[in-house]
């Protein structure tokens, strides 16, 4: 699995640098765990029908915006060959606007392009729990 599909260059560079530091073993194990997560997370329609019980596997953030990813795009053969992770499906709350938070398609490629960070310490949770937490903030 190419980590560049899910993690921005600057964040990935910092992680690789940390692998050479005194906590290198911790960061190498974290990167291996992320590879497994990216490889095994549900693909398009893999959680269809689960509703609020669907598990968000990844969390991205920037400023007051959050993106929780439930499914990754299965991708076209061309995308897979070029190492591109196109769309994903998940829950988004932009700029703290809890009233307009919604489920929908998210471009991982665009998130990375705009410098959004992957939450390295995120623990997967059900979409229903995320929605309830976001609604309480509003």
User: Which residue in the block uniquely carries the two structure tokens 């940390």?
Assistant: 18
Q: pLDDT tens across 76-128, in order? A: 556 555 555 578 999 999 999 999 999 999 999 999 999 999 999 999 999 99
H/E stretch holding 118: strand 117-118
Number of domains in the chain: 1
**Calpha distance 108→5 (Å, rounded):** 8
Q: pLDDT tens across 42-57, in order? A: 998 999 999 999 999 9
Give the residue from 15, 55, 56 showing the smallest Cα distance to 32.
Answer: 15
pLDDT for residue 85: 56
Number of neighbouring beta carbons within 10 Å of residue 73: 20
Domain range for 19 is: 3-137
């Amino acid at each position: 699995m190419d980590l560049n599909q899910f993690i921005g260059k600057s964040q990935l560079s910092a992680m690789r640098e940390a692998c050479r530091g005194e906590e290198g073993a911790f960061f190498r194990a974290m990167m291996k765990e992320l590879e497994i997560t990216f490889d095994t997370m549900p693909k398009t329609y893999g959680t269809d029908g689960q509703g609020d019980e669907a598990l968000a596997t990844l969390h991205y953030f920037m400023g007051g915006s959050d993106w929780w990813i439930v499914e990754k795009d299965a991708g076209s053969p061309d995308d897979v060959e070029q190492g591109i992770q196109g769309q994903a499906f998940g829950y988004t709350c932009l700029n703290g606007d809890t009233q307009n938070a919604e489920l929908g398609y998210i471009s991982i490629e665009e998130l990375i392009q705009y410098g959004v960070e992957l939450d390295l310490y995120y623990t997967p949770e059900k979409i229903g729990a995320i929605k309830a937490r976001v609604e309480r903030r509003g």
